[in-house]
Structure 1
């Protein structure tokens, strides 16, 4: 369902209404558990999301409590990159990996980490928030998210001479057709992603790194420049592959998470006196 909401409250209402519609259409008699994936880090004590920079008002306290009340069922909230990582581990390319990192590149930049089949989220839920890593900008210090996200691809394309209304997808499509400025922009994006992978490799030592998110649709163009730059940057070079689940990675990670809880809930209900 396309999000046309202009406020955080309207978006929450859209989520609830969509969930109700899906349940009604499915014919399900009872729903045991729900999971929401969102950018940022969910603070359970305060009941709000932090660091969701691209969703104004989404960090307002009480928003998810309201959603729980309106749905009438238990609701978990998880970072979207974490869920995507779990989705790829459960249903995609990550099966059998001892420790793998899912790098989500789109409007923002995030990373989900799965170790021995379990999400690693850190002491406060912020593990994998690699978008906050510092990056030396041309005119002032930036973050890695500023350098690697879809917006950065468009800015690079303009810098190399592309004009008109541009999106990251349009730049990648033009690169596929051999447009020189687009090719240069994609090459630069690949080099910057390589720095992201190098940082993850040095800290985590993953056996597998998955590239996904909106930019993941064009991983075929990125793998060569990422791999070449990675060879020059570091001796720590994990296996690098595109995600298999595409836009469904977050959704399927949420399904895997909810099923794990729901099975226990249903078993307890059926075994109770």
Structure 2
């Protein structure tokens, strides 16, 4: 089976057998600036990966694609994915058929990261947890009673739209209030507003570790935003565990977990859940796609075996 993580910055692929052993993998900077360019890139990478494993594209049992946004099954468009231009057009998702000759499944990338955490990471054996990705965008995967919860329209966990940061000039309602102030761009903008000249969110966090006063204030603002968002999540879902991932969640956990946890003490009714940084790093989405793909592939192989050879 084939697992594909389609991100704004990188595209990651892995080919695995039915035991889950990865036979080949590949990673490239993403050509996400256009739908056609990204489809061409994916097609080339899949062909190269299957050839590397000694397979033909048709030998792949199933492919699982993880992307930002929500698949609108009525129109075939990808909604709420501004970092993937062109995918909002009707029928865009169906064009993935040119990438692989096998049946394919499309899932939200953060949902897949939550599945990956449950199968291979900190969520293993935890019945109620959330995976919160904070980076160029913000999203959340929800696991309830050990199962991924998608909601009625597949939009459960779209916490980028939580009303956090109201009144801040950074807020862009088209992007989501919380995401506007707490994503990587928001962290940089707040730091610059405080007098720190910087290029990336990573620079802000490194400056904070070095003791820069403006950077420390920017990190404190980020922690406050995250704490208020998590307070709403905790009040509704009461998770046992919050796993932080994404560029900011993974890179700045050492700066965020303690102040977020302390702030939550005064924001939630009962004891806050554990907050930990994902141990899966950038492979979380890919591993979640593998977990989903393995279950689907095994079912398909079983169905074919029961049906017997075509006559």
**TM-score of the pair, normalised by structure 1:** 0.94
Secondary structure of the 1:232 match is coil
Quick one: distance in 2 between partners of 1:200 and 1:153? Answer: 21
The alignment's C-alpha RMSD in Å is 1.6
Q: Per residue, is there more helix in 1 or in 2? A: 1
How many angstroms does 1:137 deviate by? 2.4
The answer to whether the 8 A contact 1:217-1:246 is kept is no
Distance verdict in 2 for CA 1:176–1:71, change over 3 Å: same
Quick one: distance in 2 between partners of 1:4 and 1:251? Answer: 18
How many angstroms does 1:5 deviate by? 4.6
1:60 aligns with 2:95: no
How many angstroms does 1:235 deviate by? 2.5
The answer to whether the 8 A contact 2:71-2:93 is kept is no
The answer to whether the 8 A contact 1:87-1:252 is kept is yes
Distance verdict in 2 for CA 1:61–1:205, change over 3 Å: same
Partner of 2:216: 183
Which of 146, 151, 167 is 1:137 aligned to? Answer: 167
1:73 aligns with 2:108: no
Quick one: distance in 2 between partners of 1:269 and 1:151? Answer: 49
The answer to whether the 8 A contact 1:5-1:14 is kept is no
Distance verdict in 2 for CA 1:140–1:193, change over 3 Å: closer
Which of 241, 244, 247 is 1:211 aligned to? Answer: 244
Which of 38, 41, 50 is 1:23 aligned to? Answer: 50
The answer to whether the 8 A contact 1:9-1:63 is kept is no
Quick one: distance in 2 between partners of 1:140 and 1:152? Answer: 7
1:147 aligns with 2:181: yes
Secondary structure of the 1:169 match is helix
1:38 aligns with 2:72: no
The answer to whether the 8 A contact 1:104-1:213 is kept is yes
Distance verdict in 2 for CA 1:152–1:90, change over 3 Å: same
Partner of 1:51: 80
Which of 286, 290, 293 is 1:255 aligned to? Answer: 290
Partner of 2:29: 2
Which of 222, 227, 230 is 1:197 aligned to? Answer: 230
**TM-score of the pair, normalised by structure 2:** 0.83
The CA deviation string for residues 211-270 of structure 1, in whole angstroms up to 9 with x for no partner, is 111112221111111111111212341111111101111111111111110011112223
Quick one: distance in 2 between partners of 1:194 and 1:28? Answer: 48
Q: Which runs of 5+ in 1 are unaligned?
A: none
The answer to whether the 8 A contact 2:70-2:79 is kept is yes
How many angstroms does 1:141 deviate by? 5.9
Distance verdict in 2 for CA 1:104–1:140, change over 3 Å: closer
Partner of 2:21: none
How many angstroms does 1:61 deviate by? 2.1
Q: Which runs of 5+ in 2 are unaligned?
A: 1-27
Secondary structure of the 1:210 match is strand
Distance verdict in 2 for CA 1:64–1:5, change over 3 Å: same
The answer to whether the 8 A contact 2:33-2:84 is kept is no
